[in-house]
Structure 1
Amino acid sequence: MKIHRSLAASAVVALPFALAACGGGGSGSEDGSTLTLAHSYTEDQPQHTCGAEVIKQGVEDAGVGLTVEIFANSQLGGDADRIASVQSGDIDIDIQGASALAAVHEPVGVVDAAYAFEDAAALDNYFSNGAADDLKEDFKSAAGVSILGAWSAGARQFTANEPIQTPDDLSGLRMRFPGSPQFLLNAQALGAKATEVAYEELYLALQQGVVDGQENPIVNIEATNLVEVQDYVSMSSHQQNSNLIVASSAYDDLSGEQQTAVDDAVADAVSQMPECVEEAEAEIVDGWESEGSVEIVDDVDTDAFEEQTDAWFRDNLEGDSLAVYESIKDSQE
């Protein structure tokens, strides 16, 4: 039999994935079971083309009786709704930023701390080389959800109508930051005055002067046409924009062969993402420069920013959150 879940009617409780497997226990290699994979990105962003699509293709090519149905563009709800659906088993696999996942286990949000990682490779190494094992186990215990892998979907950069090269340049600017706790902590650590504005309302808020600037990955800046209402993109690379691939208890119910297929597909997507993001960003920046649509500021004093944020986090984080931050830094020594 083929089980396919839909969230079209929230009153309907999805059947547990184990029912799709003959006799339970995940022996679904002969019954053509379908996994749902959800995310909030558009179908032309790297998270979809080099992430979700690669996972789907890898799982299906493995020939272990699994297919993957992708729901992009927040079709199955926003971040908070989707992680709740992963916990309940209504979504099998989801792609979310660490700061959003902090709603169910606060310490995981530290993965999105400003300057926690030197670059995308450092984030990859943290999750793939054992350094994040305690975090994964704690997350599973707290949320009942497995972390299968992680990648950086690009570094976050500042935009404003004046260049931002040092921490002092943020003084007096009303900078839009997402409203999640970790992003607001980042604003404090960076020395910015944070203003919360919904992502969908950001263009208008910048155009009308409600905020002076904002921070986002290059692909997001392009997707929302922010260079039309900002004069400078300052390449601060102050945060690796994390995506964690998380799975419901459906993953635990798979056979060993099926789990291996999912793991290998996720690992393949993780390995492809850096080049995919780099190519997308290079194409965007080249377009901006050739069109003269915005000025790129390359000489940001990232050392000054990193020194300031590191001191702030070590002084202000505590408990498990501080332990996660220290494990991230230790993994890069």
Structure 2
Amino acid sequence: MTRHPHPTLRRRRAALTLAAAAPLLAASACGGGGDGDSVEITLAHSYTEDQPQHRCGAQVIADAVADADAGMTVEIFSNSELGGDADRISSVVSGDVDIDIQGASGLGAVYEPVSVLDAAYAFDDADHLARYFESEPAEELIEAFADEAGIRTLGAWSAGMRHFTANQEIREPADLEGLRMRFPNSSQFLLNAEALGADATEVAYEELFLALQQGTVEGQENPIVNVDAVSLDEVQDFISLSSHQANSNLVVIGGVWEELNEEQQQVLSDAVATAVEEVPGCVEEDEQELLEGWSSGDEMQVVDDVDVEAFRSQADEFLRANFNEEQLAVYEGIRESAQ
């Protein structure tokens, strides 16, 4: 298979090659040599290195692969270094990027039914998401995704529930009326906005702080760890704990999977499984620390008496009425796994 690395990867690999050339040639001249070439796996994501998705996810995967010593290494490119979500998933399909940690809505660009994983109130919590991915409906969805897009899903985790922030409390759907709320530019997120009763404005995540500071938008929704990562507590007065969406992350791999031997495939699968176990706990610890800090400080007030059931019932009715047959089947499979 011919692979064409992302320009950033080409530049970095060229530098590494030049730096390593002299000692390698010297070793060759002396008759030395290794046991074979090591497979270099590129792993990309959009999170900062301080966030649990990196610390307890991507880094755990890379470390576990290194410890296994199976002739394989994982190089991480964080903070959207290899492009935004839409760019990276295209790069996985083309083979320019090997592994991506991606939200379900981003994956919907290559297989639309997967985006339903990001539907408002589809999942009750992180445990529900974990149960679903052990179910038969999830297996069928992931197999169909692989067949359609040529991308294998190695694992999935919740990186926290998404909540509203604004300069006023949001306790019920009526509180969203008249507010310009930022939502990501994806069909499922925009459908969620309608379902929740929000007036959606599309703003790139990288531009969100400035948009809130300048009043282009008045509020937004994100997991707690993302709110902290881009310092939204500096430009928002309230975080309302609506828990309206599980922030799903799927670990997906492209055609390089077929280049790995059985041992390497097992090592990589086990490494991802370890990260899947660790990320939710890391997220929860970070969330607790942040909420305690906000509750005791002056920057952002925590609203913990949101009428979640009012939002949930409104969203469920709207989504069931507006999903197509294939989307509705995925949604119902998720809801059936709730306890």
Fold match (TM-score > 0.5) = yes
Question: Which amino acid in the other structure matches residue 215 of structure 1?
Answer: E
> Do the aligned residues in 2 keep the contact of 1:4 with 1:34 (CA within 8 Å)?
no
> 2 CA distance for matches of 1:315 and 1:127?
25
Which stretch of structure 1 is more off in the superposition, 320-329 or 181-190?
320-329
User: What number of residue pairs does the alignment pair up?
Assistant: 316
For the pair shown, which has the larger CA radius of gyration, 1 or 2?
2
Tell me what 2:306 maps to: 300
2:253 matches 1:254: no
> Do the aligned residues in 1 keep the contact of 2:5 with 2:95 (CA within 8 Å)?
no
Q: TM-score, normalised by structure 2?
A: 0.89
2:170 matches 1:164: yes
> Do the aligned residues in 1 keep the contact of 2:43 with 2:75 (CA within 8 Å)?
yes
* 1:20-63 Cα distance to aligned partner (Å, 9 max, x none): xxxxxxxxx95321111111111111111000001111122222
Of 215, 219, 222, the residue aligned with 1:213 is: 219
Tell me what 1:25 maps to: none
Query: Please, what is the CA RMSD of the aligned residues?
Result: 2.1
Question: Which amino acid in the other structure matches residue 260 of structure 2?
Answer: L
TM-aligned CA deviation for residue 276 of structure 1: 0.2
Question: Which amino acid in the other structure matches residue 130 of structure 2?
Answer: D
TM-aligned CA deviation for residue 319 of structure 1: 2.3
Taking the TM superposition and a 5 Å limit, the aligned residue runs for 1:304-323 are 304-323=310-329
TM-aligned CA deviation for residue 4 of structure 1: 10
Taking the TM superposition and a 5 Å limit, the aligned residue runs for 1:98-137 are 98-137=104-143
2:70 matches 1:64: yes
> 2 CA distance for matches of 1:172 and 1:194?
10
Tell me what 1:278 maps to: 284
> 2 CA distance for matches of 1:38 and 1:207?
29
> Do the aligned residues in 2 keep the contact of 1:30 with 1:64 (CA within 8 Å)?
no
SS of residue matched to 2:221: strand
- Percent of aligned positions with the same letter in both sequences? 59
Tell me what 2:189 maps to: 183
Richer in helix (by share)? 2
> Do the aligned residues in 1 keep the contact of 2:8 with 2:82 (CA within 8 Å)?
no
Tell me what 1:76 maps to: 82
Tell me what 2:7 maps to: 8
C-alpha spacing 1:9/1:224, structure 2 compared with 1 (3 Å): closer
> 2 CA distance for matches of 1:32 and 1:130?
36
> 2 CA distance for matches of 1:293 and 1:11?
43
Which stretch of structure 1 is more off in the superposition, 85-94 or 235-244?
85-94
2:209 matches 1:203: yes
> 2 CA distance for matches of 1:82 and 1:206?
26
What stretches of structure 2 of length at least 5 have no aligned partner?
14-34
> Do the aligned residues in 2 keep the contact of 1:93 with 1:248 (CA within 8 Å)?
yes
Structure 1 runs of 4+ with >4 Å offset: 3-6, 9-12
What stretches of structure 1 of length at least 5 have no aligned partner?
15-28
> Do the aligned residues in 2 keep the contact of 1:4 with 1:35 (CA within 8 Å)?
no
Of 327, 330, 337, the residue aligned with 1:331 is: 337
